[in-house]
Structure 1
Amino acid sequence: MLKELFFRFIDLLDAVLFEPFRAENVISSWGTNPLRSVWIFILFFSALSAGAGYVFISPPFTNRSLGQLITAAVAHLLFFLLLPYAIAFITDGYAQSKGRKGNANLFLHFVRFSLSLFITTAAWGILLSQFGWKGGFGIVTLYTIHYGFFMAVMVRGTSYIYDLKFRDSLFINLTTFVITFFLPLSMYFAIISSFSPAFQ
């Protein structure tokens, strides 16, 4: 049972991240409750990894680091919780303006599962810090890498799900990228600065 569930989970991520032409069929083969469980799993680990990545790449490590990890994880949890709705709303509205059929529910699931890319943030943070890419430069680099991969997945997914040309898909995703680019960084620094006195 667990083995079958694991392989179905891997197949879901494979379809979303690498073969978006299969995404609709694979997502629709899951029930509502299993999809919600998978989304919660991805949301939790993506937020935790993103929070850890930004702490790893921002030394020195002190007794405040655990508190920073928690607040950074919470900041990214909120961001990852809200981001799919913003992207799905903007993309679906644009697609309908181009005469395409609305498919917001499917695309919302697609965006949610695409956030699994951020599960690797902690590993990237450790790798970049080992190469000396730390502090503000490291954070921007780490964020750009992941958001770049994420946007590439979004462009392909938008093209297939809404049957849009690559140019139109790229335009709407670049627009969404500009709108949402500074949200996680601003949330991260705002929460850190607000709660940092409690960790001293």
Structure 2
Amino acid sequence: MKDLLSSILELLEAVLYEPIRLESALANLSEKSLNLFSWIVLIPSSLSIAVGATYLSPPYSSGSMALIAVAFFANLSMISILPMILGAVIDFQAQKKQRTGNVNYSYNLCRFGIGIFLFFAPLSILCRETGLTGGVGYFLILLFLIGYYITIISRGIQYVYDLKTSDAIRFSLTSIIIVGIFPFVFYLYASGSILHLIL
């Protein structure tokens, strides 16, 4: 158990602070271990977002637990799929700039970078104490964490694809904007299909 925790912390430290070490950290782990580690990161991150968002919206009732459960599964499904698409879009942009493809690195950088969303619940406590509740607090925290996420990804891809800082930030930002459209497209598709069945 101690070795497992040490490996996860080493991987997260490489992603969040020293992306230059991420390739060597990934090389020492099997795909099975990486998948296990990613769930160990994704599940608490999803729970942190769900709990934090509910905490920002008082008053609480018995239905708050159901709301947390629904939000948890919605967040988990979203943040487990989007890093895969995000990694592919970043790699595609880098290859268009005549860089050697490394989609595996991009994907792992994106999925383990999600670990910063563990801070959503603690930040929601801070926002609540300063009076920033409801949608205002939620979007402020989300914007801050997404900005931090873009910074993490930019630093990682700048190293692995040998990009200028401006290109790395542009690739990260445009990729997140492109990927961010997918949930809305899916929502519109699902809504349209349901309306079509009803009408």
Q: 1:101 to 1:186 in 2, by over 3 A?
A: closer
1:177 CA displacement: 2.9
Is 1:179 the equivalent of 2:188?
no
User: Which portions of structure 1, spanning 4 or more consecutive aligned residues, are displaced by more than 3 angstroms?
Assistant: 180-187
1:174 CA displacement: 1.5
Q: 1:132 to 1:183 in 2, by over 3 A?
A: farther
1:179 CA displacement: 2.8
Distance 1:184 1:53 in 2: 21
Give the match for residue 192 of structure 1.
none
Give the match for residue 39 of structure 1.
38
Distance 1:16 1:74 in 2: 25
What aligned pairs does 1:45-124 form with structure 2 within 5 A after superposition?
45-124=44-123
Gapped regions of structure 2 (runs ≥ 5): 187-199
- Give 3-state SS (helix, strand or coil) of 1:76's partner: helix
Deviations 1:74-108 (CA, angstroms, capped at 9, x unpaired): 11111101111121111000000111111111211
Gapped regions of structure 1 (runs ≥ 5): 188-200
1:3 CA displacement: 2.0
1:40 CA displacement: 1.0
Give the match for residue 135 of structure 2.
136
1:52 CA displacement: 0.8
Give the match for residue 193 of structure 1.
none
1:176 CA displacement: 2.0
- Give 3-state SS (helix, strand or coil) of 1:101's partner: coil
Letter in 2 for 1:11: E
Deviations 1:10-40 (CA, angstroms, capped at 9, x unpaired): 1111111100011111111111111111011
What aligned pairs does 1:158-169 form with structure 2 within 5 A after superposition?
158-169=157-168
Deviations 1:22-75 (CA, angstroms, capped at 9, x unpaired): 111111111111111101111111111111111111111112111110111111
Deviations 1:111-142 (CA, angstroms, capped at 9, x unpaired): 11111111121111122111110011111111
Distance 1:182 1:136 in 2: 20
Segment drifting more, 173-182 vs 102-111: 173-182
Give the match for residue 126 of structure 2.
127
Identity fraction in percent: 31
